[in-house]
Structure 1
């Protein structure tokens, strides 16, 4: 027969004191006499009582849960970002509750769900929905370059890598290798738009030309494959392709193979995010390290400051990316 777990009421009865006094002892309050403190501590040992941190947090108006809102579980960027969040928030006793609005169809309104859970804070890894504006919300940090509703940039803390700088890094790398006919695979707005516009402007300024396709849909392997297949068919003169993320770049590698193009001998391909997929030896993808783990860790730090009430004006942190050169880029016409 399973023994019933002792409660704070059992401790109070065994020590001959009130529940309130036991709570004071558990909080190490100086307002308790040594005699009463000793009696409570002895009862705790005798009964094997263990304090419920969850109950204590609820009594203090906390849940120690942070809601994380994303829009694509398959995007490996989120994996490292969430790991960074956990590295910052875990040691402080916080747990993460992650909802992907693209696949969690049972969650009709994730913001309402988080509010119903009484989360202590939220991290938003997608374009912030308008429902975030004007509500009585816990502290919110937006991660990544996002398209935000009017008023949101001043309302929330944010952390991102400099996507424009990353796009420029790719353009300079390909042009320095001698590539003058470039292709770009991109989708949507936010980070993708910032990378696309900066890459194109930098490439043009350096004397290269850029054609793009695959600007609709999600940034997936299939989108990268279809876009690269179309680009290479319509523009066989292309010798360098920049994809909006690593997953699309891997799709582009497959399309290049199926088009009979050798990478990197007559076609160089660059991704973005520097995910574990890019680093795999079989892939060896040249890419941009957008410091996703650091983005998550910094977002966690900002959120902790906000939840502890030690932050004032919203902070907008921009981290500088770096180019990681591997085996999918080489001098043009080598």
Structure 2
């Protein structure tokens, strides 16, 4: 039989140990981020140098069979094109990588059945836990994780019953900052573009908007609200049209996220309204590039990267058995004032009212 050629024999831990002048068990600990602290730093450096020089690659399949861990984390996101999720995933990935874990990202859309289907597929591939950015206020994937005893953490959105740990922004404070800013500018007629009520951010930011009005002694009935069917620019525009048709005299809009705010920009342009001359607009999230639209968007900044890192911390605590109780981590947002907000002009109100009458 002809001898096969072109095959490269895998480098073993024993060979790395011989090159580094240490025992194979020391190599194993030095190459594993979770146990590296057990080895003297100088020895770690020597082992890593030897492994790199020899071209050593760990056998992840064999390690997974031995430990029962794949060191893979599944991340479910509703829309990978939404730039909100990039820094969340980046922060989580950086933190998980320091403990030897990698993220597998699934773009699941908005169909709950699809969420469960992809969660099952990831479990079949032996993922060790989930980071969920998809949850509704009462979510079937949470039921699935609890039934399967899978470690999981929610990011950006929370479940109403708080059965699983979550890392979120303070939605009530974010709305308070937005309303305070507009009231201080002199706006007396403010509308709200809400997110979907089935999602915690839509529900809580809408509640936060009306709570903020109450702080200022403003009657909620005088401040209109339209809910978008989804967090995207197109649905934001549809909701903004309904809002301006129902309340043509408003001088400002607080949107539940930046994409809805950009939809309001589109409708303002359609109707010949200037931003902020006729209509001030405040977004929520501070997505990348919203400082480059015309005018740059005033928005509530959320620390998305920190949300990802904090979620990874909570998940790692579950994976190592160090945390069993459910925790809800709430990070404080900040208002970023840019060019889309200004004091109302008296003629703006009159102009809006005249357009509505026409």
TM over 0.5: yes
Give, in angstroms, the shift of residue 95 of structure 1. 1.2
Partner of 2:133: 125
For 1:28 and 1:211, the matched residues in 2 are separated by 61
Partner of 2:203: 193
Pairwise mapping of residues 291-310 of structure 1 onto structure 2 (< 5 A)? 291-310=303-322
For 1:129 and 1:103, the matched residues in 2 are separated by 13
Contact map agreement 1:141 1:302 (CA 8 A) in 2 = yes
1:88 aligns with 2:95: yes
Partner of 2:223: 210
For 1:115 and 1:316, the matched residues in 2 are separated by 25
More divergent stretch after superposition (126-135 vs 164-173): 126-135
For 2:169 and 2:303, the matched residues in 1 are separated by 7
1:328 aligns with 2:332: no
Partner of 2:34: none
Partner of 1:183: 191
Partner of 1:57: 63
Contact map agreement 1:81 1:297 (CA 8 A) in 2 = yes
Contact map agreement 2:275 2:295 (CA 8 A) in 1 = no
1:178-231: per-residue Cα shift (whole Å, max 9, x none)?
111111111323111101111123224422631012x24111111111221222
Partner of 2:117: 109
Match of 1:220 among 213, 216, 232: 232
Runs (5+) with no aligned partner, structure 2: 31-46, 347-358
Number of positions where the alignment pairs a residue of Structure 1 with one of Structure 2? 307
More divergent stretch after superposition (121-130 vs 171-180): 121-130
For 2:110 and 2:170, the matched residues in 1 are separated by 28
1:246 aligns with 2:258: yes
* Residue 10 to residue 178, structure 1, CA distance change in 2 (3 Å): closer
CA RMSD of superposed structures (Å): 3.0
1:147 aligns with 2:159: yes
1:146-202: per-residue Cα shift (whole Å, max 9, x none)?
234x5xx24x22110111111111111111111111111113231111011111232
Pairwise mapping of residues 36-55 of structure 1 onto structure 2 (< 5 A)? 48=54, 50-55=56-61
Contact map agreement 2:176 2:208 (CA 8 A) in 1 = yes
* Residue 79 to residue 48, structure 1, CA distance change in 2 (3 Å): closer
Contact map agreement 1:5 1:49 (CA 8 A) in 2 = no
For 2:26 and 2:272, the matched residues in 1 are separated by 74
Runs (5+) with no aligned partner, structure 1: 16-21, 30-40
Give, in angstroms, the shift of residue 135 of structure 1. 1.6
Moved segments of 4+, more than 6 Å = 103-108
For 2:59 and 2:10, the matched residues in 1 are separated by 15
Contact map agreement 2:116 2:140 (CA 8 A) in 1 = no
1:103-159: per-residue Cα shift (whole Å, max 9, x none)?
7998871221121111122111122425425423331111123234x5xx24x2211
* Residue 265 to residue 28, structure 1, CA distance change in 2 (3 Å): closer
Contact map agreement 1:119 1:138 (CA 8 A) in 2 = no
